Amino acid sequence: MKKLETRADIELLVNKFYEKVQTDETIGFFFNDVANVDWSHHLPKMYSFWETLLFGQISYKGNPMAVHFPINEQVPMEKFHFEHWVKLWTATVEENFVGEMADSAIYKATNIANLMGYKMEMARRLK
C-alpha cells in the first residue's frame, strides 16, 4: 500500500469512498434521494475539500456545514449516520493508504463528523 501524498491520491480515495456511499443502505439515500447529488459537481468539490484539509492547498471554497442544514431539515441527519459515514471513510482509507496523511484523513473525518452531527442535532432542537 502507498502513502496518501498527492491530489491524485485524494481523487482516488474520494472516488472509492463515494462509490461505497452511493450504494450504502444506511446513508446512501441522503445523497441519492434527499440531496439528489450531482456527482460531476460534488466530487471535484470533495477533492478540493480534502486537498485543503490534508495538504494545506487552499483549493476549496465553501461552507460544508451550511450545505447540510437544508438536508437535515428534510430528513434528520443523526449521530449514527455520521458514525457510519466515518466507518465507511475509515475503511476506504485503510484499504488504500498507509502513513501519517492516511491517519490524518481518518482523524479529521472523525472530528468533522462529530461536529456536524452535533450541529445538526442542535439545529433540530432549536426548531
On whether the CB atoms of residues 18 and 39 are closer than 8 A, the answer is yes
Q: What is the pLDDT of residue 72?
A: 96
Cell of 21: 456511499
The SS3 of residue 63 is coil
Query: How do 2-3 and 97-98 pair as beta strands?
Result: parallel
How far is the C-alpha of 7 from the C-alpha of 79, rounded, in Å?
30
Q: What is the pLDDT along the chain (127 residues), one digit of tens a residue?
A: 999 999 999 999 999 999 999 999 999 999 999 999 999 999 999 999 999 999 998 888 889 889 999 999 999 999 999 999 999 999 999 999 999 999 999 999 999 999 999 999 999 988 6
pLDDT in tens, 67-95: 999 999 999 999 999 999 999 999 999 99
**19 contacts: CB under 8 Å, gap ≥ 6:** none
What element of type H or E holds 51? Answer: helix 39-55
How far is the C-alpha of 84 from the C-alpha of 118, rounded, in Å?
15
What element of type H or E holds 6? Answer: none
Domains and CATH numbers, the chain: 2-125 (1.10.490.10)
- What's the chain's average pLDDT? 96
